[in-house]
Structure 1
Amino acid sequence: MANPGLTPLVQAEAPGEVLLLRQAQDLGFPVGETWVVELWEEFARLNNLAERIGRLFQGVFGVRIDEDRLLLAAEEAERAVRESYLLPERAETFLEALGGRGPFLVRRAGEGVYRPAQTPKEALFALKRLWAEAFRVEALLERYPTLFPPSLPVLVQEVPTLPPPEGGLLEDPFLSLDLSQALGQRVIAYTWEGVLLRVESSSAG
Structure 2
Amino acid sequence: MADPGIIPLERAPSLGELALLQRAKALGFPVVPTWAVALEEEFYRLNNLPERIERLFAGVFGVRVDEERLLWAAEEAQRSVRESYLLPERAEAFLEAVKGRGPFVVRPLGGGPHPAPTPQEALFALKRLWAGAFRVEAILERHPRLLPPFIPYLVQEAGEVGEDPFFSLELSKALGERVVVFAHRGVVVRIEWEHGG
2:172 corresponding residue in structure 1: 180
Aligned to 1:135: 134
Offset of 1:65 from its aligned partner? Answer: 1.1
CA-atom RMSD in angstroms: 1.2
Amino acid at match of 2:55: R
Q: Which residue of 1 aligns with 2:25?
A: 25
- Mapping 1:1-205, distance limit 5 Å: 1-111=1-111, 113-159=112-158, 162-163=159-160, 169-204=161-196
Cα distance in 2, alignment partners of residues 123 and 198 from structure 1:
17
Shift of 1:204: 2.1
| Matched residue type, 1:90 | R
Identity %: 64
Per-residue CA deviations over 1:30-49 (Å, capped at 9, x if unaligned) read: 11110100011111110111
User: Which amino acid is the alignment partner of residue 149 of structure 1?
Assistant: P
TM-score (norm 1): 0.92
8 Å contact kept, 2:109–2:151? yes
Aligned length: 197
Q: Which amino acid aligns with 1:136?
A: R
Separation (CA, whole Å) in 2 of partners of 1:63 and 1:25: 51
State how far apart, in whole Å, the 1-side matches of 2:143 and 2:176 are.
35
1:203 deviates by 5.0
Cα offset, 1:14, TM superposition: 4.0
With the length of structure 2 as denominator, give the TM-score of the two structures. 0.96
The runs of 5 or more residues in structure 1 that have no matched partner are 164-168
The whole-number CA distance in structure 2 between the counterparts of 1:68 and 1:150 is 25
Q: CA deviation at 1:59?
A: 0.8
